[in-house]
Amino acid sequence: MTVSDFRLTSLVRRLVVQMNFNSNLLNISVINGVAYLKGEIEKNDPTIRKLKKKYKFSDKVLDKKLAQEYKAGLKMLDRNIVRAPGIRGVVYQLKNWEKKAGTGWIRKSTRGST
């Protein structure tokens, strides 16, 4: 039985929230079984915010660490969505990150996007 886009949208939203991405900054929909995420990627979980606040990293090191965290989070999110039953693929239109065939996730600007 085909799963409705209506139902799949709620499933994809759960996967986004599970990864601690701020779902309020994203439009999440499913169209023809293809997940569609448009907007901004921002992580809300305390671990990431502690990283920013508590450790005395230089800006460059912090930036690199955050980019790694986001990249890993996006990779896992993408994998979870693609594996979800009923989902045929994902289309991303994100302000601050881009998924490139071959190279994976790339941040669009170097500062201020995470």
Partner 1 sequence: MKEIFTIHKNLLSGVESLASEYIDDVFDYYNSFLEEGKPYPDILYNLIILYLWLDKKEKISSYLSKLLQKNNHYSKYLNLKKYIKNQSSKFKLPSKINKKIKKEIPKKVYEFYLENKEKFDERPFFIKEFYNILGDYARFSNRNEDAFDFYLFSFLYSKNISELYKNIGACYNSENDLERAYKYFKKSIKKNNGQDSDTLLEFSHICAELNKEKEALSSLLTIHKNNPHYPDVSYRIGKYYLDKSEIEKAKLFFEKALDINPNYSAANIDYFYILLKENNKKEIIEFFKRLPDSRDKDIFEFFYTLQFSKNFDKSFDIFKKYDDFMEQIFIGFWNHIINSIDEKNKIKFLNYIEDNNLLSIDKLNQFKEVLLKL
Q: Which residues bind partner 1 (CB under 8 A)?
A: 4-7, 9-11, 13-14, 18, 20, 27, 29, 31-34, 36, 38, 44-46, 49-50, 52-54, 88-89, 91, 93, 101
With 0-12 CB in 10 A as exposed, 13-18 as middle and 19+ as buried, what is 20? middle
Task: Quickly count: other Cβ atoms within 10 Å of residue 60's Cβ.
Answer: 8
- For the bound state, the minimum distance from the C-beta of residue 90 to partner 1, rounded and expressed in Å, comes to 8
**Encoding tokens for residue 74?**
């996006």
**Encoding tokens for residue 102?**
């071959």
**Residue 10 or 68: which CB sits closer to partner 1?**
10
- For the bound state, the minimum distance from the C-beta of residue 9 to partner 1, rounded and expressed in Å, comes to 7
